[in-house]
Amino acid sequence: MLMPIRLKGVMQAPVSPMKDDFSFDGEGFAKMVDFHVRHGAPAIAWPHHKAESLNLTIAERKLGAEIAVTTVAKRVPVSIFVGTLSEEDSLDLACHAQKIGADAILTISPYCRRPAQEEIFDSIVRIATTVELPVLTYNSPWRNGEGVEFTGELTRRLIDRLPNYIGMKDASFHSQKYLEISRVALNMRPGFAIIMGVEHLLASYPLGACGSFSSSGAIAPNLCNKFFAALEAHDWETARECQFKISELWRLFKEQYPSSLKGAMIMMGRPVGPTRSPLPTASKERLEFLCKRLEELDILQTEPHGW
Amino acid sequence: MKPFEPGLVHAPVTPFKRDQSVDYATYAKIIEFHLRNGAEALALPMPEGEDMSLRDGELRELLEFAVKQVRGRVPVLAHVSDAGTSIAVERAVHAEKTGAAAVLSHPPYFWHPRPAMVVEHLARIGTAVKLPFYVCSPPVESAGTELTSDMVMQLIERVPNLAGVVDASLDFVFMEEVISGGRRLRPGFQLLAGRDYLVSAAALGGNGAIVPLAGIAPTLLQRVYDLCRQQKFMEARGMQEDVAHLHHLVREAGASGLKDGLAGIKCAMAMMGRECGVPRPPVRPLGEVERGRFEEAAQALAFLKAEPRGW
């Protein structure tokens, strides 16, 4: 029997700390995960793109998943992202996540292929019928028509087919695309979790989004929690203030994501090492610029320092 | 003086006769229908009014006709987009002389100039008039040039009468950046929601909306708009989902690669007892089978029963 899980709020997706030789820093990662839980993360989700997922080996992803589950120790739900270039790897990671006691998996049809709707359907069904875990999918349409897009119709068919299909990470950030999914999903399966890929929540929370996977929580967990509390209280004025500040942070971090984010973590007293190639590691000049902006945004002064 | 804010703006379709001429008798009926059903302003001819299918002389004549027909009851916003800068500039000047209350323009049609030239194009149109000027962000699937938030910030610096953005991108990130960044540079800078998706834009602090589906479902859009104005965003969800459903049917009908919905809107208008003919070529009207399928799906929408039938 499936354990029901409730996903809501600004959920934290930890980065992957690296040692100076670019090897995966398991101890650092455990500290990172624990930091998030102690600072109010309602769930932990790993390894998203921000965690350099595609630059980790499958063995590292399994190791990290084990560390995440052990460190969280059931305090909050843990979802494991199993998207890879090869569907066989995704399937392997999904089975591993179930074996080690993760609470859910997040999956997508393999990237870089412009998969047809039928191919996405088959991919998701294959993975979601192999495991018993609750399954989230990741809607990632790109502007030029590439990417992996879940239309309303595809979402409807998947809900119809899969009892363990519980939610969608939505990275469309687009009123029409969002509503194509939400109006179908929330009416077919009340409680279906629509989780924004970045905390663009003010536009989506009134339309039924239950939370987001955080982009900025490693820097500004207090801001994330304040933002979600304002949304739940329908305090739109405060929510706007938080949303615009998070939007500013996102502008700082989105280029070469997560290089700048990892760089900015040094200023917060939580160094997590370099970013793996082909992504750059933030330069000294970039760090100075980030430090200045974080001060202007009042982040340095209001957010936790150190672990 | 209170700054101009257009509120709930209806975007009428443009009716054509069988000989492809503009059907002014029907256009008058359309305008009166919108005014009786909640329009606080009219924007014309928007993409849903087939602006691109109208010739320059027709665009001017249409605006003159609309201004006369409206007789000052509500503001008329003139949409002047074109490919060439000087053509759009002259059209904007004409709109001002004709009595439009504001001028709207997209980035240049067809061309994909560098960002600085897009800004130049829009700045020349805006500074050619004294009226409030709004720039329109195109839909993400459109064939034209994108309007970025950086371009909007540059335009605020250059165009004193730039009042705001009409957003058809529906992009959360763009809306966040335009509202927060725009108001830092120009307090009161407006974001009007485009294309009938009101809730997200209003929650972010947007000001009003241009609603092309108002010819089909003015009551529903009015209710969503009223809830948004009262900051009752949670309560607006169900009705916004209904609007999205209608939008989906309209877009999916027809042969347009861009899913422009032009054939669907006119088919729905006829179904509601407001016959407006079919779109101008090259847009294909719905065939008999498609029309049957569309009407069947639309008739299943319970909320349409509360909408006015006929003129």
Q: Which residues of B lie inside 8 Å of A (Cβ-Cβ)? A: 140-141, 169-173, 175-177, 179-180, 195, 197, 199-201, 203-205, 231, 233-234, 236-237, 240-241, 244-245, 247-248
Q: Where do runs of H (alpha helix) occur along chain A?
A: 26-38, 58-72, 87-99, 117-130, 152-161, 175-188, 221-232, 236-253, 259-267, 284-296, 299-302
Per-residue pLDDT at A80 exceeds 60: yes
- Across-strand partners of A251? none
By Cβ distance, the residue of A176, A207, A239 closest to B237 is A207
Confidence grade of residue A2 (pLDDT, cut at 50, 70, 90): low
User: For A9-234, which CATH class?
Assistant: alpha beta
- The DSSP annotation for A57-83 comes to -HHHHHHHHHHHHHHHTTSS-EEEE--
A141 vs A173, which has greater pLDDT? A173
Per-residue model confidence (pLDDT) at position A147? 83
Domain ranges of chain B: 8-231
User: Hey, is A198 helix, strand or coil?
Assistant: coil
Instruction: Write out pLDDT tens, residues B167-178.
Output: 999 999 999 999
Per DSSP bridges, beta strands A147-148 and A135-141 are antiparallel
User: Hey, is A193 helix, strand or coil?
Assistant: strand
Across the interface, do B173 and A247 touch by the CB < 8 Å criterion? yes
Instruction: Write out pLDDT tens, residues B271-309.
Output: 999 999 999 999 999 999 999 999 999 999 999 999 999
Q: How far apart are CA B280 and CA B20, in angstroms?
A: 7
Per-residue pLDDT at A146 exceeds 80: no
Instruction: Write out pLDDT tens, residues B143-190.
Output: 678 899 999 999 999 999 999 999 999 999 999 999 999 999 999 999
Tokens at residue B11, please?
Answer: 């975007």
Q: How far apart are CA B148 and CA B195, in angstroms?
A: 18
Q: How far apart are CA A95 and CA A107, in angstroms?
A: 12
Instruction: Write out pLDDT tens, residues A89-140.
Output: 999 999 999 999 999 999 998 877 788 999 999 999 999 999 999 999 999 9
Q: Which residues contact B180 (CB under 8 A, 6 or more apart)?
A: A244, A247, A248
B135 vs A145, which has greater pLDDT? B135
Of residues B305, B113, B157, the one with CA closest to residue B217 = B305
Across the interface, do A200 and B201 touch by the CB < 8 Å criterion? no
ipTM: 0.92
Q: How far apart are CA B185 and CA B136, in angstroms?
A: 19
Q: How far is CA B238 from CA A30, A234, B224, B234, in A?
A: 42, 17, 9, 9
Across the interface, do A175 and B200 touch by the CB < 8 Å criterion? yes
Per-residue model confidence (pLDDT) at position B257? 78
Provide the residue-wise pLDDT of chain B in tens; the chain has 311 residues: 678 999 999 999 999 999 999 999 999 999 999 999 999 999 999 999 999 999 999 999 999 999 999 999 999 999 999 999 999 999 999 999 999 999 999 999 988 899 999 999 999 999 999 999 999 998 877 767 889 999 999 999 999 999 999 999 999 999 999 999 999 999 999 999 989 999 999 999 999 999 999 999 999 999 999 999 999 999 999 999 999 999 999 999 988 877 889 999 999 999 999 999 999 999 999 999 999 999 999 999 999 999 999 99
Per-residue pLDDT at A1 exceeds 50: no
Q: Which residues of A lie inside 8 Å of B (Cβ-Cβ)? A: 143, 145, 152, 173-180, 182-183, 187, 200, 202-208, 234, 236, 239-240, 243-244, 247-248, 250-251
Domain ranges of chain A: 9-234
Tokens at residue A296, please?
Answer: 């202007």
| Residues of chain A contacting B205 with CB distance shorter than 8 Å | 240
- Going through chain B in order, the beta strands assigned E by DSSP cover 8-10, 41-44, 76-79, 102-105, 133-137, 162-167, 190-193, 208-211
Pick the residue of B189, B233, B234, B243 with the most A CBs within 10 A to test the interface with A by mutation. B233
User: For B8-231, which CATH class?
Assistant: alpha beta
Of residues B127, B101, B104, the one with CA closest to residue B5 = B101
Per-residue model confidence (pLDDT) at position A188? 97
Rounded to an integer, the average pLDDT of A10-27 is 97
Q: Looking at the complex, report in whole angstroms how far the Cα of residue B210 sits from the nearest Cα belonging to chain A.
A: 15
Residue with tokens 């302003």: B41
